């Protein structure tokens, strides 16, 4: 024990010997045998050698027991209610003993009831994170059954609501009031001083349990399902030679009509109408996409037999035969659940995403279930803004799913595979990240970025593609990289304003840099890749001026003015392909 003085204060340094139960390094047996010992061993009989080893073992054991008893006696003298020892050393290892802080002494449970895209919920969540509190968040937009529990506990469905163990604390106003009173720390210790043992406290979200299903199809929907199940069993589905190639797993329209007539005892006209309904609901498709359904030698196949289906990551061995929900409702669910994932598992500014925690979350498991509902969704009834928000959200959700499922490798070929090979089946057809961005959101316009060739004419995506090109969509799409715009999700009623806000944030966070003295403007390489969507030269900079702050607006105005003193050089920044995690 050494005594030292620091700033006039007396300090004692104590060193503890290694615990006797810790392993000790010993030389291999026989490595330190002297010549005398060797001669002695050679001249000693095996019985005497065994007896000597036994005596040595007994002696070592006796010494070890004595050391342990001595150490226990020393510990009784040294250990008090509060020890001063904060560290001790074991050979090659330094062990630090950290005293518990006040936050670590909090043993209770904090539950936060919230909603997606709720400003007050975001404020409470951010505060709890800043203070380092471990809390369980229950988003009632994701867990609809928990909203009933919230009403029972508080008498209202308003959020946010905070619970400390079983005690209802209140919402944002109650939290701000307690913070301003200066009694926050004391009050928190009182509320959370005891460990929560269950009781009446809100239970944390459990993984793998679904809410009760609602809105199941009835009537004609159940009838369609029965037709499909019979046809799958009875139709002569086989490979056929057509147009000089083998078409797998198909049947003719005439064979299907005959089967329906025989099974339903109906007329031929009614059987054809049933076939058209099945095609409209995307149970079947023409093998070459030439018509919806016709009698005769026209060939069709079921959705699960489409060649692209094996590449669709929202397909789990069989198609969903239940009646699809309304596309607007599915779009709302997609927005709410992905916003909940983003708010719970990303940084406050959404620039960093924790993909590992997302992959293990109950919210993501529910998203995967929701993705199956997209298989036969009717997207043609969506309005322009509903369609825009839906595909922006679907793209960003698919990027998250793709990074979790297949990851991303470096190199041009690997990047191309990421954007083309990871697909969903949506509304009966396959969609990759490439097809959503270029075929739907950009309406099939050419791109300067030489990743993938555009789709061919007559592609089914043309029905959904936007005719009016909106360059702002590029600031709403996140590719999961550090140089792409941050991930976000959009509402149909506010998608235009939200895209403008996304553009302003992108340019504010490094999408543009102006070097006035050199008359150089550095722009994101995204603008170069999709220059067909933007203007060029000074027209481009004038367009950008609507989405930058006052300082950059002034710099650009000076460069573009008549007294600017010459041309402006646009240089495109290097693109950082590393994942935004």
Q: How far apart are CA 154 and CA 145, in angstroms?
A: 15
Q: Please report whether residue 43 resides in a domain.
A: yes
Supply the DSSP symbol for 579: B
- Give alpha helix (H) positions in 360-411: 362-372, 384-405
Number of folded domains that form the chain: 5
**pLDDT for res 455:** 47
**DSSP state letters, 464-499:** TS-SS--GGGGGS---SBSSSPPP----GGGHHHHH
Q: Is residue 301 part of a domain?
A: yes
DSSP secondary structure of 248-261: EEEEEHHHHHHHHH
Nearest one of 290, 306, 302 to 423, comparing CA atoms? 306
Q: Say whether both 87 and 123 belong to one domain.
A: no
Whether residue 415 is contained in a domain is answered as yes
Distance (Å, whole) CA 526 – CA 475: 9
Q: Is 353 helix (H, G, I), strand (E, B) or coil?
A: strand
User: What does the DSSP assignment read for 80-137?
Assistant: -SS----EEEETTEEEE-PPP-TTTT--S-EEEEE-TT-HHHHHHHHHHHHTT--EEE
Within a domain: 136: yes
H or E stretch including 145?
A: helix 144-154
Instruction: Please identify which residue in the block is written with the tokens 């075929």.
Output: 439
Inside any domain, residue 215: no
Residues 561 and 419 in one domain: no
Kindly report the backbone phi and psi dihedral angles of residue 95, in degrees, each rounded to the nearest multiple of 5, phi listed first.
Answer: -110, 125
**Of 283, 285, 254, residue with least CA distance to 271:** 254
102: left (phi over 0), alpha (psi -120 to 50) or beta: alpha
Instruction: Please tell me the distance from the alpha carbon of residue 359 to that of residue 112, in angstroms, as a whole number.
Output: 22
Residue 34 has what pLDDT? 47
Identify the residue whose tokens are 């928990």: 146
d(Cα 351, Cα 488) in Å, to the nearest integer?
10
Q: Looking at the structure, tell me whether residues 228 and 295 fall in a common domain.
A: yes
Question: Strand, coil or helix: what is 401?
Answer: helix
Distance separating alpha carbons of residues 153 and 290, to the nearest angstrom: 57
The torsion defined by the Cα of 207, 208, 214 and 219, in degrees rounded to 10, comes to: 170
- Same domain for 334 and 390? yes
Q: Give the whole-angstrom CA distance, residue 363 versus residue 137.
A: 11
Distance CA 98, CA 83 (A): 12
Q: Are residues 348 and 478 in the same domain?
A: yes
- What is the value of pTM for the model shown? 0.79
Extended strands (E) in 108-214: 110-114, 135-139, 161-164, 167-170
Distances (CA, A) of 490 to 116, 328, 478: 12, 13, 12
Partners of 481 in the beta sheet? 579
**Cβ–Cβ contacts within 10 Å for residue 552, how many?**
18
Please indicate, yes or no, whether residues 156 and 67 belong to a single structural domain of this protein. Answer: no
* Same domain for 485 and 365: yes
Residues 256 and 371 grouped into a single domain: no
User: What is the full per-residue pLDDT of the chain (581 aa) written as tens digits?
Assistant: 556 555 555 655 656 666 555 555 555 554 454 444 444 444 445 454 455 566 666 666 666 665 555 555 444 444 444 455 555 556 656 555 555 554 455 567 899 999 999 999 999 999 999 988 889 999 999 999 999 999 999 999 999 999 998 889 999 999 999 888 888 888 888 877 666 555 688 999 988 888 765 444 433 456 788 889 999 999 999 999 998 999 999 999 999 999 999 988 889 999 999 999 999 999 999 999 888 899 999 999 999 999 999 899 999 888 888 888 899 999 999 999 999 999 999 999 999 999 999 999 999 999 999 999 999 999 988 999 999 999 999 999 999 999 999 998 788 888 889 999 999 999 999 999 999 999 999 987 766 554 555 444 345 666 677 668 899 999 999 999 999 999 999 999 999 999 999 999 999 999 999 999 999 999 999 999 999 999 888 999 999 999 999 999 999 999 988 655 578 999 999 999 999 99
Structure token digits, residue 52? 């000597």
- Neighbouring CB atoms inside 10 A of 68's CB total 13
Question: Is residue 20 located within the same domain as residue 131?
Answer: no
* Same domain assignment for residues 150 and 180: yes
Instruction: Choose one of 498, 529, 548: the last residue of a domain.
Output: 498
Is 209 a domain residue? no
Enclosing H/E stretch for 521: strand 520-523
By the 10 Å C-beta count (0-12 exposed, 13-18 middle, 19+ buried), 263 is classed as middle
Looking up tokens 């890749």 gives 529
Cβ burial 78-107 (10 Å sphere, 16+ → b, else e): eeeeeeeeeebeeeeeeeeeeeeeeeeebe
Q: Do residues 184 and 236 both lie within one domain?
A: no
352 is in which domain, residue-wise? 327-498
Q: Is residue 317 part of a domain?
A: no
Q: Which residues pair with 95 in a beta bridge?
A: 88
Rounded CA gap, 380 and 47, in Å? 95
């Amino acid at each position: 024990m050494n005594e030292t003085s620091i700033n006039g204060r007396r300090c004692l340094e104590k060193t503890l010997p290694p615990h006797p139960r810790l392993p000790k390094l010993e030389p291999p047996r026989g490595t330190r045998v002297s010549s005398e010992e060797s001669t002695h061993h050679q001249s000693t009989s095996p019985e005497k050698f065994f007896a000597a080893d036994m005596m040595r073992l007994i002696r070592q054991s006796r010494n070890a027991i004595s050391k342990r008893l001595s150490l226990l006696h020393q510990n009784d003298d040294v250990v008090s209610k509060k020890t001063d020892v904060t560290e001790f050393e074991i050979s090659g290892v330094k062990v630090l003993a950290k005293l518990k802080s006040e936050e670590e002494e909090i043993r209770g449970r904090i539950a936060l009831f919230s909603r997606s895209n709720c400003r007050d919920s975001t404020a409470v969540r951010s505060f709890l994170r800043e203070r380092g509190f471990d809390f369980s968040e229950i988003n009632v937009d994701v867990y609809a059954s928990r909203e009933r529990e919230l009403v029972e506990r508080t008498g209202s469905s308003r959020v946010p609501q905070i619970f400390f163990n079983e005690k209802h604390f209140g919402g944002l106003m109650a939290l701000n009031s307690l913070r301003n009173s200066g009694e926050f720390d004391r009050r928190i210790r009182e509320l959370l001083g005891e460990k929560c043992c269950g009781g009446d406290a809100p239970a944390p979200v459990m993984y793998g349990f679904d809410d009760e299903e609602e809105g199941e199809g009835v009537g004609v929907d159940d009838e369609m399902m029965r037709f499909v199940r019979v046809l799958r069993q009875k139709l002569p589905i086989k490979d056929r030679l057509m147009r000089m190639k083998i078409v797998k797993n198909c049947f003719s329209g005439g064979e299907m009509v005959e089967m329906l007539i025989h099974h339903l005892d109906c007329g031929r006209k009614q059987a054809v109408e049933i076939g058209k309904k099945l095609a409209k609901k995307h149970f079947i498709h023409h093998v070459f996409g030439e018509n919806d359904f016709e009698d005769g030698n026209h060939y069709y196949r079921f959705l699960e037999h489409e060649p692209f289906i094996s590449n669709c990551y929202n397909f789990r061995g069989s198609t969903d035969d239940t009646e699809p929900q309304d596309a607007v409702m599915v779009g709302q669910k997609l927005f709410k659940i992905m916003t909940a994932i983003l708010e719970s598992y990303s940084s406050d500014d959404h620039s960093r995403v924790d993909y590992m925690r997302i992959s293990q979350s109950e919210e993501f498991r529910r998203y995967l279930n929701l993705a199956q509902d997209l298989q036969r969704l009717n997207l043609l009834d969506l309005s322009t803004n509903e369609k825009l928000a839906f595909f922006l959200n679907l793209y960003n959700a698919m990027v998250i799913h793709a990074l979790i499922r297949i990851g991303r490798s470096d190199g041009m070929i690997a990047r191309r595979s990421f954007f083309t090979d990871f697909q969903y089946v949506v509304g009966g057809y396959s969609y990759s990240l490439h097809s959503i961005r270029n075929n739907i959101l950009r309406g099939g316009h050419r791109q300067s970025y030489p990743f993938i060739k555009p789709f061919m004419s007559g592609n089914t995506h043309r029905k959904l593609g936007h005719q009016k090109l909106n360059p702002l969509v590029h600031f709403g799409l996140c590719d999961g990289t550090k140089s792409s715009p941050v991930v976000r999700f959009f509402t149909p009623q506010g998608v235009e304003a939200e895209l403008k806000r996304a553009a302003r944030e992108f340019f504010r966070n490094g999408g543009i840099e102006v070097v006035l003295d050199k008359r150089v403007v550095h722009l994101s390489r995204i603008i170069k890749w999709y220059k067909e969507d933007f203007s060029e030269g000074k027209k481009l900079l004038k367009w950008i001026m609507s989405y930058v702050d006052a300082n950059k607006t002034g710099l650009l105005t000076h460069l573009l003015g008549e007294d600017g003193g010459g041309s402006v050089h646009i240089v495109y920044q290097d693109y950082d392909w590393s994942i935004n995690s």
